[in-house]
Amino acid sequence: MIEVPSGHKSGFIAVVGRPNVGKSTLINRVVGQKVAAVSPKPQTTRNRVAGVKTTGSYQMIFLDTPGIHHAETLFNREMVKLALKTLTEVDLILWVIDASDPLSDEDQLVRGHLQDIKVPVVLALNKVDLVKPKQHLLPVIDACHRLIPAAEVVPISATEGVNLNLLEEILLRYLPEGPPLFPAEQTTDQPRHLVVAEIIREKVFELVHQEVPYAVAVQVDEMEERPETGLVDIQATIYVEKDSQKGIIIGEGGRMLKRIGQQARQEIEEVLGTHVYLGLWVKVHRAWRKNEEALRRFGYLLKSG
């Protein structure tokens, strides 16, 4: 049995905000390893992903959530529902706002969901490295203080690492005492096949433009280690909604699919710590984002209750 030092703290922190404010980048930076897909495109995060930061005196479990926004489609409504459900299941809420584009209508939407929540809120004003001159930050910080007066406001840059130690110190104040909830070496709650699927989907977001990435779902069909070589054999399918999107993902002469596969394989090998064979297939599942059965199959539909 592992002895837990006196005063050890552990708890769940929901990381929330509108799309594309840097929630996933922040979690990856604090955890010290990629656990969530990152892209400059909004609404990259689709599932609630836990990133676990463990030290000798505390364990922080960050729940990366889909961006809260005005959702019109079934798919987007399910993502927002997942984010809002998380607010009631945590010890602390970390609300991330983009300092370079603050206080939008969707920030006000987030505020509306948070103001009656009984859970403590810390507000991280991210991307301060993009605000120049720096004195322009002062009115933004003041405005953030007025959003939720009880919330502490911390100016940070997730990409540059600015004030992240200070942010952790403040978050730690709000966590309850308790033992670690995950093994010290574990950095995410996601099974390996979901981590692999997210890496592949992230590469589609990086390499394919316009609206095509939003129509993409990735499913790992097989993931098996070859004992004689230690090589992990992965077969995965990229699903799109239209034949034209399939053509874009494959590319002329298969070149786009090859680029996606090469970049995904390199990152998967880094995460798994072993050599990987990655086979990718592209299939059409028409209008899957409007289909409850498909959303459930791909893991995007919340269970009732």
pLDDT tens digits, 172-182 = 999 999 999 88
pLDDT: which is higher, 43 or 160: 160
| Residue in this structure with the two tokens 């840059």, named with its chain if needed | 157
From 144, 174, 204, the end of a domain falls on 174
Q: What does the pLDDT average to over 157-161?
A: 95
Nearest Cα to Cα of residue 18 among 110, 156, 147, 84: 110
Are residues 251 and 130 located together in one domain of the fold?
A: no
Backbone angles phi, psi at 9, to 5 degrees: -115, 150
| Residue in this structure with the two tokens 């390499």, named with its chain if needed | 207
CATH number of 285's domain: 3.30.300.20
Are residues 167 and 205 located together in one domain of the fold?
A: no
Q: What does the pLDDT average to over 83-102?
A: 90
Q: Is residue 126 part of a domain?
A: yes
pLDDT at 305 over 50: no
Q: 255: pLDDT confidence band, cut at 50, 70 and 90?
A: very high
pLDDT tens digits, 210-231 = 778 788 899 999 999 988 888 9
pLDDT tens digits, 5-60 = 789 999 999 999 898 899 988 998 999 877 766 545 444 444 566 789 999 999 99
Q: 1: pLDDT confidence band, cut at 50, 70 and 90?
A: very low
Nearest Cα to Cα of residue 13 among 138, 153, 105, 124: 124
Nearest Cα to Cα of residue 195 among 285, 264, 126, 294: 264
Are residues 105 and 248 located together in one domain of the fold?
A: no
From 116, 141, 174, the end of a domain falls on 174
Q: Is residue 34 part of a domain?
A: yes
Are residues 29 and 166 located together in one domain of the fold?
A: yes
- Which stretch of DSSP H or E encloses residue 299? none
Q: Is residue 4 part of a domain?
A: no
pLDDT tens digits, 229-250 = 889 999 999 999 999 999 999 9
- Are 69 and 109 in contact by the 8 Å Cβ rule? The answer is yes
Are residues 212 and 134 located together in one domain of the fold?
A: no
- Are 14 and 86 in contact by the 8 Å Cβ rule? The answer is yes
From 174, 205, 225, the end of a domain falls on 174
- The model carries a pTM of 0.75
How many independent structural domains does the chain possess? 2
Are residues 91 and 141 located together in one domain of the fold?
A: yes
Amino acid at 68: I
Q: State which residues form the domain around 58.
A: 9-174
Q: Is residue 2 part of a domain?
A: no
Q: What residues contact 120, with CB distance under 8 A and at least 6 apart?
A: 92, 93, 150, 151, 174
